[in-house]
Amino acid sequence: MKKKLLYFTSLLSIMLSGCNQITVISENSEPEQNYYIQEIAHLHLEDALDSLQTSENQNQNNIRAVWIPVMLYENWMLNKSETEFRENMKTAFQNCVDLGINTVYLHVRAYADAYYHSDIFPTGIYLTHNYDPLEIMLEEAHALNLSAHAWINPMRAQTTQQLANLDTNYILRQWYDNPETNGTYLVNYNDRYYLNPAYPEVRQLIADGITEILENYAVDGIHIDDYFYPTTDSNFDEKAFSESNATDLAEWRRSNCSELIKLLYQTIKNYNPDIPFSISPQGNFSINYDKLYADVKLWCSQEGYCDVIIPQIYYGFENQTCPFAETATLWAETATATDLVIGLGVYKTGMEDQWAGTGSTEWLTDSSVIAKQIEFVSNLDNANGVALYSYSSIFEPEQAVSALINAEKNHISELLLQEK
Protein backbone atom coordinates (compact mmCIF):
# COMPACT_ATOMS: atom_id res chain seq x y z
CA MET A 1 0.00 0.00 0.00
CA LYS A 2 1.06 3.54 -0.59
CA LYS A 3 1.78 5.78 2.35
CA LYS A 4 -1.19 7.42 3.95
CA LEU A 5 -1.98 10.82 2.49
CA LEU A 6 -3.11 13.90 4.31
CA TYR A 7 -6.03 15.32 2.44
CA PHE A 8 -6.89 19.00 2.64
CA THR A 9 -10.56 18.89 1.77
CA SER A 10 -13.82 20.46 2.83
CA LEU A 11 -17.06 20.64 0.92
CA LEU A 12 -19.09 22.00 1.00
CA SER A 13 -39.03 20.39 9.13
CA ILE A 14 -41.29 18.98 7.73
CA MET A 15 -42.27 15.33 8.24
CA LEU A 16 -42.85 13.86 4.80
CA SER A 17 -44.43 10.59 3.86
CA GLY A 18 -43.26 10.88 0.29
CA CYS A 19 -43.90 12.44 -3.08
CA ASN A 20 -47.16 10.59 -3.34
CA GLN A 21 -48.72 13.16 -1.04
CA ILE A 22 -49.23 15.10 -4.25
CA THR A 23 -49.82 12.27 -6.69
CA VAL A 24 -52.54 11.56 -9.15
CA ILE A 25 -51.03 8.22 -10.06
CA SER A 26 -48.69 6.24 -7.86
CA GLU A 27 -45.09 5.61 -8.82
CA ASN A 28 -45.25 2.65 -6.49
CA SER A 29 -47.01 0.81 -9.32
CA GLU A 30 -43.67 0.45 -11.12
CA PRO A 31 -42.02 -2.97 -11.15
CA GLU A 32 -39.39 -3.13 -8.42
CA GLN A 33 -36.44 -3.20 -10.82
CA ASN A 34 -37.49 0.14 -12.29
CA TYR A 35 -36.62 1.95 -9.08
CA TYR A 36 -32.99 1.81 -10.10
CA ILE A 37 -32.15 4.21 -12.91
CA GLN A 38 -28.66 2.82 -13.60
CA GLU A 39 -29.68 -0.81 -13.90
CA ILE A 40 -32.69 -0.32 -16.14
CA ALA A 41 -32.09 2.80 -18.19
CA HIS A 42 -28.33 2.98 -18.46
CA LEU A 43 -26.01 0.24 -17.39
CA HIS A 44 -27.26 -2.33 -19.87
CA LEU A 45 -25.13 -4.92 -18.11
CA GLU A 46 -26.35 -8.41 -18.10
CA ASP A 47 -24.88 -10.35 -15.98
CA ALA A 48 -3.32 8.45 -8.15
CA LEU A 49 0.05 8.90 -7.73
CA ASP A 50 1.21 9.61 -4.13
CA SER A 51 0.46 13.30 -4.31
CA LEU A 52 -1.04 15.93 -2.09
CA GLN A 53 -2.54 17.65 -5.11
CA THR A 54 -6.29 18.02 -4.72
CA SER A 55 -8.93 20.18 -6.27
CA GLU A 56 -9.19 23.84 -5.39
CA ASN A 57 -12.94 23.47 -5.84
CA GLN A 58 -13.59 21.84 -2.49
CA ASN A 59 -15.11 24.89 -0.80
CA GLN A 60 -17.91 25.02 -3.28
CA ASN A 61 -20.92 27.24 -2.78
CA ASN A 62 -22.50 25.86 -5.92
CA ILE A 63 -21.97 22.25 -6.94
CA ARG A 64 -22.12 21.63 -10.69
CA ALA A 65 -21.59 17.90 -10.89
CA VAL A 66 -21.86 15.02 -13.31
CA TRP A 67 -21.97 11.26 -12.72
CA ILE A 68 -19.50 9.10 -14.67
CA PRO A 69 -20.99 5.58 -14.41
CA VAL A 70 -19.23 2.28 -14.85
CA MET A 71 -20.72 1.38 -18.22
CA LEU A 72 -18.61 4.11 -19.84
CA TYR A 73 -15.49 2.11 -18.96
CA GLU A 74 -16.39 -0.45 -21.62
CA ASN A 75 -15.33 2.04 -24.31
CA TRP A 76 -12.80 4.02 -22.30
CA MET A 77 -10.98 1.21 -20.47
CA LEU A 78 -11.70 -2.27 -21.87
CA ASN A 79 -8.65 -3.51 -23.82
CA LYS A 80 -7.16 -0.02 -23.62
CA SER A 81 -3.59 0.74 -22.63
CA GLU A 82 -2.79 3.10 -19.79
CA THR A 83 -1.99 5.84 -22.31
CA GLU A 84 -5.25 5.32 -24.18
CA PHE A 85 -7.27 5.36 -20.97
CA ARG A 86 -5.53 8.52 -19.77
CA GLU A 87 -6.28 10.28 -23.05
CA ASN A 88 -9.91 9.22 -22.81
CA MET A 89 -10.15 10.67 -19.32
CA LYS A 90 -8.43 13.90 -20.34
CA THR A 91 -11.03 14.35 -23.06
CA ALA A 92 -13.93 13.51 -20.76
CA PHE A 93 -12.81 15.85 -18.01
CA GLN A 94 -12.11 18.67 -20.44
CA ASN A 95 -15.64 18.23 -21.78
CA CYS A 96 -16.91 18.56 -18.22
CA VAL A 97 -14.92 21.72 -17.55
CA ASP A 98 -16.03 23.28 -20.83
CA LEU A 99 -19.65 22.62 -19.89
CA GLY A 100 -19.20 24.34 -16.53
CA ILE A 101 -18.86 21.25 -14.32
CA ASN A 102 -16.74 21.50 -11.16
CA THR A 103 -17.37 18.06 -9.57
CA VAL A 104 -17.27 14.50 -10.92
CA TYR A 105 -18.59 11.33 -9.28
CA LEU A 106 -16.35 8.51 -10.49
CA HIS A 107 -17.76 5.00 -10.35
CA VAL A 108 -15.03 2.96 -8.68
CA ARG A 109 -17.06 0.11 -7.17
CA ALA A 110 -20.32 -0.82 -8.87
CA TYR A 111 -20.62 -4.56 -8.19
CA ALA A 112 -18.42 -5.24 -5.14
CA ASP A 113 -15.49 -4.88 -7.54
CA ALA A 114 -12.72 -2.32 -7.82
CA TYR A 115 -11.48 0.09 -10.47
CA TYR A 116 -8.47 0.80 -8.28
CA HIS A 117 -5.86 -1.34 -6.56
CA SER A 118 -7.70 -3.28 -3.85
CA ASP A 119 -6.88 -6.10 -1.48
CA ILE A 120 -10.55 -6.46 -0.53
CA PHE A 121 -12.53 -6.46 -3.78
CA PRO A 122 -11.74 -8.09 -7.15
CA THR A 123 -10.81 -6.09 -10.23
CA GLY A 124 -13.70 -4.78 -12.33
CA ILE A 125 -14.37 -6.59 -15.59
CA TYR A 126 -13.44 -3.64 -17.81
CA LEU A 127 -9.90 -3.31 -16.43
CA THR A 128 -7.91 -5.61 -18.70
CA HIS A 129 -4.47 -3.96 -18.40
CA ASN A 130 -2.23 -3.48 -15.38
CA TYR A 131 -2.72 0.13 -14.37
CA ASP A 132 -4.66 2.01 -11.71
CA PRO A 133 -7.74 3.75 -13.19
CA LEU A 134 -8.62 5.74 -10.08
CA GLU A 135 -5.10 7.09 -9.73
CA ILE A 136 -5.18 8.26 -13.35
CA MET A 137 -8.67 9.73 -13.04
CA LEU A 138 -7.69 11.70 -9.94
CA GLU A 139 -4.53 13.03 -11.56
CA GLU A 140 -6.36 14.22 -14.66
CA ALA A 141 -9.37 15.59 -12.78
CA HIS A 142 -7.22 17.54 -10.35
CA ALA A 143 -5.08 18.88 -13.20
CA LEU A 144 -8.25 20.62 -14.42
CA ASN A 145 -9.27 21.68 -10.91
CA LEU A 146 -12.21 19.27 -10.79
CA SER A 147 -13.33 17.94 -7.43
CA ALA A 148 -13.31 14.13 -7.82
CA HIS A 149 -15.37 11.85 -5.57
CA ALA A 150 -15.17 8.05 -5.37
CA TRP A 151 -18.62 6.61 -6.10
CA ILE A 152 -19.51 3.15 -4.78
CA ASN A 153 -22.57 0.92 -4.62
CA PRO A 154 -22.34 -0.46 -1.09
CA MET A 155 -24.65 -3.49 -1.27
CA ARG A 156 -24.82 -4.66 -4.89
CA ALA A 157 -22.38 -7.48 -5.74
CA GLN A 158 -21.59 -9.91 -8.54
CA THR A 159 -23.56 -12.54 -10.39
CA THR A 160 -23.53 -16.18 -9.34
CA GLN A 161 -21.03 -17.08 -12.06
CA GLN A 162 -18.71 -14.21 -11.20
CA LEU A 163 -18.62 -15.10 -7.51
CA ALA A 164 -18.02 -18.76 -8.29
CA ASN A 165 -14.99 -17.77 -10.38
CA LEU A 166 -13.42 -15.38 -7.86
CA ASP A 167 -10.07 -16.12 -6.30
CA THR A 168 -10.58 -17.79 -2.93
CA ASN A 169 -8.46 -15.09 -1.27
CA TYR A 170 -11.38 -12.69 -1.51
CA ILE A 171 -13.77 -12.65 1.42
CA LEU A 172 -16.70 -12.48 -0.99
CA ARG A 173 -15.70 -15.86 -2.45
CA GLN A 174 -15.26 -17.28 1.05
CA TRP A 175 -18.74 -16.11 1.99
CA TYR A 176 -20.10 -17.54 -1.26
CA ASP A 177 -18.51 -20.94 -0.57
CA ASN A 178 -19.65 -21.09 3.04
CA PRO A 179 -23.23 -22.41 3.46
CA GLU A 180 -23.52 -20.40 6.67
CA THR A 181 -22.91 -17.09 4.90
CA ASN A 182 -24.23 -17.79 1.39
CA GLY A 183 -27.84 -16.79 1.82
CA THR A 184 -27.19 -14.66 4.90
CA TYR A 185 -24.20 -12.32 4.45
CA LEU A 186 -24.55 -12.68 0.68
CA VAL A 187 -28.07 -13.06 -0.71
CA ASN A 188 -29.00 -14.05 -4.25
CA TYR A 189 -31.76 -12.06 -5.89
CA ASN A 190 -32.44 -12.60 -9.61
CA ASP A 191 -29.01 -14.19 -10.09
CA ARG A 192 -27.18 -11.22 -8.62
CA TYR A 193 -25.85 -11.27 -5.10
CA TYR A 194 -26.30 -8.44 -2.61
CA LEU A 195 -24.54 -7.79 0.66
CA ASN A 196 -26.96 -7.99 3.57
CA PRO A 197 -26.58 -5.00 5.94
CA ALA A 198 -28.26 -6.90 8.79
CA TYR A 199 -24.86 -8.27 9.84
CA PRO A 200 -22.12 -6.19 11.51
CA GLU A 201 -19.47 -8.16 9.58
CA VAL A 202 -21.02 -7.13 6.29
CA ARG A 203 -21.32 -3.49 7.28
CA GLN A 204 -17.69 -3.53 8.38
CA LEU A 205 -16.54 -5.00 5.07
CA ILE A 206 -18.20 -2.12 3.22
CA ALA A 207 -16.63 0.37 5.61
CA ASP A 208 -13.21 -1.27 5.24
CA GLY A 209 -13.52 -0.82 1.49
CA ILE A 210 -13.97 2.92 2.01
CA THR A 211 -11.01 3.06 4.37
CA GLU A 212 -8.88 1.37 1.72
CA ILE A 213 -9.77 4.09 -0.78
CA LEU A 214 -9.14 6.92 1.70
CA GLU A 215 -5.76 5.54 2.72
CA ASN A 216 -4.49 5.25 -0.83
CA TYR A 217 -6.11 7.93 -2.96
CA ALA A 218 -6.52 11.70 -2.77
CA VAL A 219 -10.26 11.61 -3.32
CA ASP A 220 -12.26 14.75 -2.61
CA GLY A 221 -15.24 12.82 -1.26
CA ILE A 222 -17.00 9.47 -0.92
CA HIS A 223 -20.32 9.05 -2.70
CA ILE A 224 -22.98 6.31 -2.70
CA ASP A 225 -26.22 6.07 -4.64
CA ASP A 226 -29.63 4.45 -4.27
CA TYR A 227 -28.88 0.71 -4.32
CA PHE A 228 -30.15 -0.48 -0.95
CA TYR A 229 -32.51 -3.45 -0.55
CA PRO A 230 -33.26 -4.90 -4.01
CA THR A 231 -36.67 -6.34 -3.09
CA THR A 232 -39.53 -6.20 -0.61
CA ASP A 233 -39.73 -10.01 -0.61
CA SER A 234 -39.42 -11.27 2.97
CA ASN A 235 -37.48 -14.33 1.78
CA PHE A 236 -34.49 -12.12 0.99
CA ASP A 237 -33.32 -11.99 4.62
CA GLU A 238 -35.70 -14.36 6.37
CA LYS A 239 -33.04 -16.04 8.53
CA ALA A 240 -31.47 -12.80 9.73
CA PHE A 241 -34.87 -11.34 10.56
CA SER A 242 -36.03 -14.41 12.46
CA GLU A 243 -32.84 -14.33 14.53
CA SER A 244 -33.13 -10.60 15.26
CA ASN A 245 -36.20 -10.84 17.51
CA ALA A 246 -37.58 -7.82 15.63
CA THR A 247 -41.28 -7.81 14.80
CA ASP A 248 -41.51 -5.24 11.98
CA LEU A 249 -39.57 -6.30 8.88
CA ALA A 250 -39.70 -2.91 7.19
CA GLU A 251 -38.59 -1.02 10.27
CA TRP A 252 -35.83 -3.57 10.91
CA ARG A 253 -34.53 -3.20 7.35
CA ARG A 254 -34.57 0.59 7.61
CA SER A 255 -32.60 0.32 10.85
CA ASN A 256 -30.04 -1.93 9.13
CA CYS A 257 -29.54 0.62 6.34
CA SER A 258 -29.24 3.48 8.82
CA GLU A 259 -26.66 1.55 10.85
CA LEU A 260 -24.67 1.05 7.66
CA ILE A 261 -24.89 4.72 6.73
CA LYS A 262 -23.81 5.82 10.22
CA LEU A 263 -20.82 3.47 10.09
CA LEU A 264 -19.73 4.74 6.68
CA TYR A 265 -20.07 8.34 7.83
CA GLN A 266 -18.09 7.71 11.01
CA THR A 267 -15.43 5.76 9.10
CA ILE A 268 -14.87 8.74 6.82
CA LYS A 269 -14.88 11.27 9.65
CA ASN A 270 -12.47 9.20 11.73
CA TYR A 271 -10.06 9.28 8.83
CA ASN A 272 -10.51 12.94 7.95
CA PRO A 273 -13.49 15.01 9.15
CA ASP A 274 -13.16 17.33 6.16
CA ILE A 275 -13.88 14.65 3.55
CA PRO A 276 -17.56 14.86 2.59
CA PHE A 277 -19.85 11.86 2.42
CA SER A 278 -22.70 12.23 -0.07
CA ILE A 279 -25.73 10.02 -0.76
CA SER A 280 -27.88 10.07 -3.89
CA PRO A 281 -31.22 8.42 -3.10
CA GLN A 282 -34.34 8.14 -5.22
CA GLY A 283 -36.27 11.38 -5.63
CA ASN A 284 -39.50 9.82 -4.34
CA PHE A 285 -39.57 9.74 -0.53
CA SER A 286 -42.03 6.86 -0.30
CA ILE A 287 -40.06 4.58 -2.63
CA ASN A 288 -36.94 5.17 -0.55
CA TYR A 289 -38.77 4.48 2.69
CA ASP A 290 -41.18 1.70 1.74
CA LYS A 291 -39.42 -0.13 -1.12
CA LEU A 292 -35.68 0.37 -0.63
CA TYR A 293 -35.84 0.75 3.18
CA ALA A 294 -33.73 3.90 3.08
CA ASP A 295 -34.81 6.42 5.71
CA VAL A 296 -33.52 9.37 3.73
CA LYS A 297 -35.59 11.87 5.67
CA LEU A 298 -33.68 10.85 8.81
CA TRP A 299 -30.32 10.95 7.07
CA CYS A 300 -30.66 14.50 5.81
CA SER A 301 -32.47 16.01 8.80
CA GLN A 302 -30.23 14.71 11.60
CA GLU A 303 -26.48 14.96 11.96
CA GLY A 304 -24.27 11.91 11.82
CA TYR A 305 -25.41 10.29 8.58
CA CYS A 306 -24.08 12.29 5.64
CA ASP A 307 -22.83 15.72 4.60
CA VAL A 308 -24.59 16.07 1.25
CA ILE A 309 -27.88 14.61 0.00
CA ILE A 310 -28.35 14.43 -3.78
CA PRO A 311 -31.88 13.18 -4.54
CA GLN A 312 -32.42 11.88 -8.05
CA ILE A 313 -35.31 14.14 -9.01
CA TYR A 314 -35.50 12.72 -12.50
CA TYR A 315 -39.01 14.02 -13.08
CA GLY A 316 -40.40 16.66 -15.37
CA PHE A 317 -42.42 19.65 -14.22
CA GLU A 318 -45.57 17.91 -15.47
CA ASN A 319 -44.94 14.55 -13.81
CA GLN A 320 -48.17 13.54 -12.05
CA THR A 321 -46.49 11.55 -9.32
CA CYS A 322 -43.61 13.79 -8.35
CA PRO A 323 -43.72 17.07 -10.26
CA PHE A 324 -40.25 18.53 -10.27
CA ALA A 325 -40.84 21.90 -8.61
CA GLU A 326 -42.90 20.52 -5.74
CA THR A 327 -40.55 17.58 -5.21
CA ALA A 328 -37.41 19.72 -5.16
CA THR A 329 -39.10 22.10 -2.70
CA LEU A 330 -40.01 19.21 -0.39
CA TRP A 331 -36.40 18.07 -0.37
CA ALA A 332 -35.20 21.61 0.34
CA GLU A 333 -37.52 21.78 3.33
CA THR A 334 -36.37 18.38 4.61
CA ALA A 335 -32.57 18.62 4.21
CA THR A 336 -32.01 20.66 7.35
CA ALA A 337 -28.81 18.93 8.50
CA THR A 338 -27.03 18.46 5.17
CA ASP A 339 -26.18 20.32 2.02
CA LEU A 340 -28.68 19.68 -0.76
CA VAL A 341 -27.72 19.11 -4.40
CA ILE A 342 -30.48 18.26 -6.87
CA GLY A 343 -29.90 15.33 -9.24
CA LEU A 344 -31.26 15.94 -12.74
CA GLY A 345 -32.00 13.24 -15.34
CA VAL A 346 -30.52 14.49 -18.59
CA TYR A 347 -31.03 11.00 -20.04
CA LYS A 348 -34.78 11.61 -20.28
CA THR A 349 -34.40 14.34 -22.90
CA GLY A 350 -36.14 13.21 -26.07
CA MET A 351 -37.75 10.20 -24.38
CA GLU A 352 -41.27 9.33 -23.38
CA ASP A 353 -41.60 9.25 -19.59
CA GLN A 354 -43.92 6.28 -19.18
CA TRP A 355 -44.42 6.75 -15.43
CA ALA A 356 -45.30 10.45 -15.61
CA GLY A 357 -49.02 10.11 -16.35
CA THR A 358 -50.31 13.00 -18.42
CA GLY A 359 -46.79 14.46 -18.36
CA SER A 360 -45.36 11.51 -20.28
CA THR A 361 -44.56 13.54 -23.42
CA GLU A 362 -42.95 16.52 -21.69
CA TRP A 363 -39.40 15.40 -22.46
CA LEU A 364 -40.35 14.79 -26.08
CA THR A 365 -41.93 18.17 -26.74
CA ASP A 366 -39.69 20.40 -24.61
CA SER A 367 -35.93 20.24 -25.20
CA SER A 368 -35.19 22.71 -22.40
CA VAL A 369 -36.50 20.82 -19.36
CA ILE A 370 -33.05 20.43 -17.79
CA ALA A 371 -32.14 24.07 -18.35
CA LYS A 372 -35.40 25.14 -16.74
CA GLN A 373 -34.68 22.85 -13.80
CA ILE A 374 -31.21 24.32 -13.34
CA GLU A 375 -32.76 27.78 -13.29
CA PHE A 376 -35.34 26.62 -10.75
CA VAL A 377 -32.69 25.13 -8.46
CA SER A 378 -30.56 28.28 -8.66
CA ASN A 379 -33.48 30.14 -7.04
CA LEU A 380 -34.40 27.42 -4.54
CA ASP A 381 -33.63 28.21 -0.92
CA ASN A 382 -31.33 25.68 0.73
CA ALA A 383 -30.17 24.14 -2.57
CA ASN A 384 -26.44 24.02 -3.17
CA GLY A 385 -26.29 23.08 -6.85
CA VAL A 386 -27.13 20.34 -9.34
CA ALA A 387 -25.75 16.98 -10.45
CA LEU A 388 -26.39 15.69 -13.97
CA TYR A 389 -27.03 12.06 -14.85
CA SER A 390 -25.02 11.21 -16.74
CA TYR A 391 -21.86 12.00 -18.71
CA SER A 392 -22.88 9.82 -21.64
CA SER A 393 -26.33 11.41 -21.84
CA ILE A 394 -24.70 14.80 -22.34
CA PHE A 395 -21.63 14.02 -24.42
CA GLU A 396 -22.37 10.64 -26.01
CA PRO A 397 -26.16 10.67 -26.58
CA GLU A 398 -28.02 8.18 -28.71
CA GLN A 399 -28.28 9.30 -32.33
CA ALA A 400 -32.07 9.65 -32.09
CA VAL A 401 -31.82 12.39 -29.46
CA SER A 402 -28.42 13.91 -30.28
CA ALA A 403 -29.88 17.05 -31.87
CA LEU A 404 -32.09 17.70 -28.84
CA ILE A 405 -29.24 17.05 -26.41
CA ASN A 406 -26.84 19.32 -28.26
CA ALA A 407 -29.35 22.17 -28.21
CA GLU A 408 -29.99 21.58 -24.51
CA LYS A 409 -26.28 21.27 -23.79
CA ASN A 410 -25.56 24.80 -25.00
CA HIS A 411 -28.24 26.23 -22.71
CA ILE A 412 -27.03 24.10 -19.79
CA SER A 413 -23.48 25.33 -20.31
CA GLU A 414 -24.57 28.96 -20.31
CA LEU A 415 -26.37 28.47 -17.00
CA LEU A 416 -23.58 26.49 -15.33
CA LEU A 417 -20.88 28.92 -16.38
CA GLN A 418 -22.97 31.77 -14.97
CA GLU A 419 -22.79 30.13 -11.57
CA LYS A 420 -19.00 30.22 -11.35
pLDDT digits (tens, 9 = 90+) for 37-50: 554 444 433 333 33
- The whole-angstrom separation of Cα 328 and Cα 386 is 11
Q: Is residue 179 part of a domain?
A: yes
Helical (H) or strand (E) element with 242: helix 238-244
Q: Is the pLDDT of residue 334 over 50?
A: yes
272 pLDDT band (50/70/90 cuts)?
very high
31 within a domain of the structure (yes/no): yes
Q: Determine, yes or no, domain membership for 6.
A: no
Higher pLDDT, 78 or 403: 78
Pick from 381, 322, 307: nearest CA to 21: 322
Q: How would you list the strands of the sheet with 186-189, edge to edge?
A: 156-159, 192-195, 186-189
pLDDT mean over 21-28: 36
Share of the chain above pLDDT 70, in %: 85
Query: 356 pLDDT exceeds 70?
Result: yes
Residue 229 pLDDT > 60: yes
Residue 99 CB neighbour total at 10 angstroms: 19
Range of the domain at 336: 19-418
Q: What is the pLDDT of residue 160?
A: 97
Q: What is the mean pLDDT of the chain?
A: 88
The residue type found at 414 is E
Here the CATH number for the domain that contains residue 176 is 3.20.20.80
- Quick one: three-class SS letters along 181-234? CECCCEEEECCEEEECCCCHHHHHHHHHHHHHHHHHCCCCEEEECCCCCCCCCH
Entry pTM: 0.89
What was the pLDDT predicted at 290?
98
User: How confident is the model over 132-191, as pLDDT tens digits?
Assistant: 999 999 999 999 999 999 999 999 999 999 999 999 999 999 999 999 999 999 999 999
More confident position, 33 or 201: 201
Q: Please indicate, yes or no, if residue 164 is contained in any of the structural domains.
A: yes
Is there a domain that residue 320 lies in?
yes
Q: How far apart are CA 139 and CA 55, in angstroms?
A: 10
Domain membership of residue 3 (yes or no) is no
Tell me the pLDDT band of 60, cut-offs 50, 70 and 90: low
> What's the rounded mean pLDDT across residues 74-83?
98
Q: What is the mean pLDDT of the segment spanning 390-410?
A: 89
Regarding predicted confidence, which is higher, 135 or 15?
135
Per-residue pLDDT tens digits for 192-226: 999 999 999 999 999 999 999 999 999 999 999 99
Residues above pLDDT 90, as percent of the chain: 81
Q: Look at residue 37 in the predicted model and tell me its pLDDT.
A: 57
- Report how far apart the first and last C-alpha atoms of the chain are (Å, whole number): 37
Q: How many domains does the chain have?
A: 1
Q: What phi, psi does 157 have (nearest 5°)? A: -125, -155
Q: Given this model, what pLDDT does residue 304 score?
A: 98
**What tens digit of pLDDT does each residue of 365-391 get?**
998 999 999 999 999 999 999 999 999
Which band of pLDDT confidence, cut at 50, 70 and 90, is reported for residue 408?
confident
- Greater model confidence, 5 or 252: 252
In a domain, 331, yes or no: yes
Residue 418: the pLDDT is: 86
Q: Can you tell me the mean pLDDT for 82-103?
A: 98
pLDDT band of residue 406 (cuts 50, 70, 90) is: confident
Q: What is the mean predicted confidence (pLDDT) over 95-124? A: 98
Cβ count within 10 A of residue 15: 7
Model confidence at 55: pLDDT above 70: no
* 101 within 8 A of 68, measured Cβ to Cβ: no
| Domain membership flag for residue 123 | yes
